[in-house]
Amino acid sequence: MNAARFGFVALIFSLGLALSLFAQTAGNWHTFTDPTGRFSFLLPSEPEHQTQKDESHKEGPIVTDLYMVKALPKLYLASLTQYPPAAALPDQEELNADRDNFNKSVSATLMSEDRKTFAGFPALEFKSKSERNTFHMLVVKADHNVYSLCAAYENGDEPLESSKFVSSLKLIKP
């Protein structure tokens, strides 16, 4: 479902903006839980929050909540995209489309991927590289909710904080 990619469009748009902005100071890492209590993750400071709602789909609205911390040269993004129950969203097709659309949007090439089960749900963890940045991403599809964590950093060795962030996802009420 091509229109069901709204969440990743929002993620990519924010990623592009954030990579061009100045750094925020990074504080102590702490657990952040989204206001709906659906999921949590670790962050070095309080995230900026954006909500986007796309009502152009006949199946119903697609809502994306995006949380972002800029600690350049690193960037941390977490999102929850909620698709309407009537939307056809096959597990592996959705995970593949999310990976491919992400890589296309940031002009990145897939370096590695690991298909797994996360908290009982299908997931895909991958790393991709563009001309200037490397991206470490985890995408989990829990029914009609897609959770994503993405750490972006300048090319080179992966900072420990990137893995710390991506591996910190907890699904509370998937």
* pLDDT computed for residue 81 by the predictor: 95
**How many structural domains comprise the chain?**
1
Q: What is the pLDDT of residues 7-30, one digit of tens each?
A: 555 455 455 545 444 334 345 899
- The Cα–Cα gap between 171 and 174 comes to 6
Model confidence over 41-57: pLDDT tens digits?
999 999 999 999 999 98
Please name the residues in contact with 116: beta carbons below 8 A apart, sequence gap of 6 or more. Answer: 123, 124, 125
- In which domain, by residue range, is 41 found? 2-171
Domain containing 82 — which CATH number?
A: 3.40.1000.10
The dihedral sign for the CA sequence 144, 98, 53, 78:
positive
Residue 172 has pLDDT above 70, yes or no: yes
Pairing outcome for strands 121-129 and 133-142: antiparallel
Please write the tens of the pLDDT for every residue from 60-108: 999 999 999 998 889 999 999 999 999 999 999 999 999 999 999 999 9
The residues pairing with 122 across neighbouring beta strands, listed in sequence order, are 117
Give the CB-side neighbour count of residue 156, counting CA atoms within 13 A: 6
Residue type, 108: A
Q: Angle, to 10 degrees, between the axis of helix 6-19 and the axis of helix 91-105? A: 30
